[in-house]
Structure 1
Amino acid sequence: MIICIGAGPGDLDYLPQGSARLIREADVVAGFDAVVNLVRPLIAPEAEIVTMGYRDQVAKLDTVAAAHHAGQRCVVVFMGDIHFSGFQYLERVERACGHPVETRPGISSAQVLASKARVCFDETTFITFHRRGDLEPFKQHLVHALADTRNAIIIPRPWDFMPRDIAAWLLDQGVPATQPVEVWEHLTGAEAQWQGQLADCRQEFSDMSIMLIRSLAPMPSQIEPTP
């Protein structure tokens, strides 16, 4: 058994009960350091813990795959939801194992932000730049979403495309400088929020940030009029 689990946005209160049970029952629990530290209180004392970083993730996942093929119950934990910004990591897990693996979704920071900021996903485009490779198609998708008067929830890329970089790039593409922007940090912890316009988003934020760009023309309510 090997299962990939979305561990939520940084607080165990957001971890589904079924996922918590699988972590408790696992012989091997693996993942990036920060995510493993989040679920560490759930890991059985006798379980093997395999932590990794960007540089050694391929080798460490080979170790986990070997344990899986030897019949051990293995869990790989992801921050947030696997299918929001962890899809490349999932591909690496499956490459190591040599076959598709079971996944358990989790709560993402985008879902928490939508709740706190009161935006509807039907009227919002979600884009993650937290990935390796060419960002250009995703950048253009963001421009088109804003042109279509949709909100945009954006996960930045920590090493080179943070909120101020995103704002500067959008301004260069002709996106209005008055577009309302919010940047939230540590959504489930000691959260901080910045609000302003696109032209004013010039400061640095931590890599635990998520960005909301609100539509300039919010969709009106479509419920029945008040009697």
Structure 2
Amino acid sequence: MNACVDLPRSLLRPGAGARPGRVYLVGAGPGDPDLLTLRAARLLAQAEVVVLDQLVSAEVQALIAPRAQVIDAGKQRQRHTMEQDEINALLVRLARQGRQVVRLKGGDPFVFGRGGEEAQALAEAGIEFEVVPGITAACGVSAYAGIPLTHRDHAQSCSFVTGHVKEGGPEPDWAALAQPQQTLVIYMGLAALPRICTQLAAHGLSPETPAAVVQQGTTAAQRVVTGTLADLAARVQAAGLRSPCLTIVGEVVRLREQLAWFEPAPVLSAACA
């Protein structure tokens, strides 16, 4: 990072007269480090403690200050390094120790990032916090895949939903999601993709509705599989896509062939490195 960036007082290690601990809920964006906000980049370069989300790319992690203590709090499907309550308690504990903490989360903290839950825990504990927005995956990944989320000829609205509901929680409103002239962006939906496609078709969308799944969008590992609700799940399985993935459903997917602009750099093998 630029060495001439001034170090904010709030990020200095506490001493006499220093402010108490503070937590920064920082959005890391979808993966490409060039998509970080300036505020996020400065905080990472000056971080004292970073509590890391599993979806933060290695390229973004490389911007963390070398002196920072990094704590892995990542969560994957059916494998949690820490449960959410433990993460909340950790953030409170670190701040009460007078630490300046960056809670680094993939995408945007307040879009399916549980940032709202963490902010609530901090507020209830009387801990000062700041939210630093990030480019959410829906916006960043769709742009790099060449799929506009809205278009006057194809989609006048866009909905962001999660494909992973809270255990025991209500079912999605499939009828509301299966609307024409709408783009549907589904986070964390890879495991449930066959069911998602079936339910959308059963509740009003044509089985021929175009759809796409994007793996690790905006990064050198980006892969895109397109199809229709009728065959997308089978195509994704055949391609062997793995999380993190984002699913986009709607007529705008037809524009990818014309608008795709991002060509991921080839990944060198160990023998070629």
User: If the TM-score is normalised by the length of the shorter chain, which range does it land in?
Assistant: 0.7 to 0.9
In structure 1, the residue matched to 2:166 is 132
CA contact (8 A) 1:85 1:131 kept: no
Q: Tell me the alpha carbon deviations over residues 109-157 of structure 1, each in whole angstroms, 9 at most, x when there is no partner.
A: 2002442202328532222234534251xx21x5324325312122134
The answer to which of 50-59 and 193-202 deviates more is 50-59
Partner SS state of residue 85, structure 1: coil
In structure 1, the residue matched to 2:6 is none
TM-score, normalised to structure 2's length? 0.67
Change in 2 beyond 3 A, CA 1:34/1:187 = closer
Q: Is residue 2:188 matched to residue 1:167?
A: no
User: For residues 85-124 of structure 1, what are the structure 2 equivalents within 5 Å?
Assistant: 85-86=112-113, 88-92=114-118, 94-95=120-121, 98-99=125-126, 101-115=129-143, 116-120=146-150, 123-124=157-158
Structure 1 segments unaligned to the other structure (5+ residues) = 219-227
In structure 1, the residue matched to 2:28 is 7
In structure 2, the residue matched to 1:223 is none
Which of the residues 73, 81, 85 maps onto 1:52? 73
Change in 2 beyond 3 A, CA 1:6/1:131 = farther
Q: Is residue 2:100 matched to residue 1:77?
A: no
Q: In structure 2, what is the Cα distance between the partners aligned to 1:212 and 1:33?
A: 22
Q: In structure 2, what is the Cα distance between the partners aligned to 1:194 and 1:172?
A: 22
In structure 1, the residue matched to 2:257 is none
Which of the residues 55, 60, 65 maps onto 2:92? 65
In structure 2, the residue matched to 1:41 is 62
The answer to which of 181-190 and 75-84 deviates more is 181-190
Q: CA deviation at 1:20?
A: 1.0
Partner SS state of residue 49, structure 1: strand
In structure 2, the residue matched to 1:210 is 246
Q: In structure 1, what is the Cα distance between the partners aligned to 2:34 and 2:164?
A: 24
In structure 1, the residue matched to 2:13 is none
Q: Is residue 2:181 matched to residue 1:154?
A: no
Higher-helix-fraction structure: 1
Q: In structure 2, what is the Cα distance between the partners aligned to 1:113 and 1:33?
A: 17
Q: Is residue 2:210 matched to residue 1:180?
A: yes
Q: Is residue 2:238 matched to residue 1:191?
A: no
Partner SS state of residue 35, structure 1: coil
Structure 2 segments unaligned to the other structure (5+ residues) = 1-21, 255-273
* Residues paired across the two proteins, number: 211
TM-score, normalised to structure 1's length? 0.79
Partner SS state of residue 83, structure 1: coil
Q: CA deviation at 1:30?
A: 0.4
- Provide the alpha-carbon RMSD of the alignment: 2.7
Q: In structure 1, what is the Cα distance between the partners aligned to 2:216 and 2:46?
A: 29
Partner SS state of residue 247, structure 2: strand
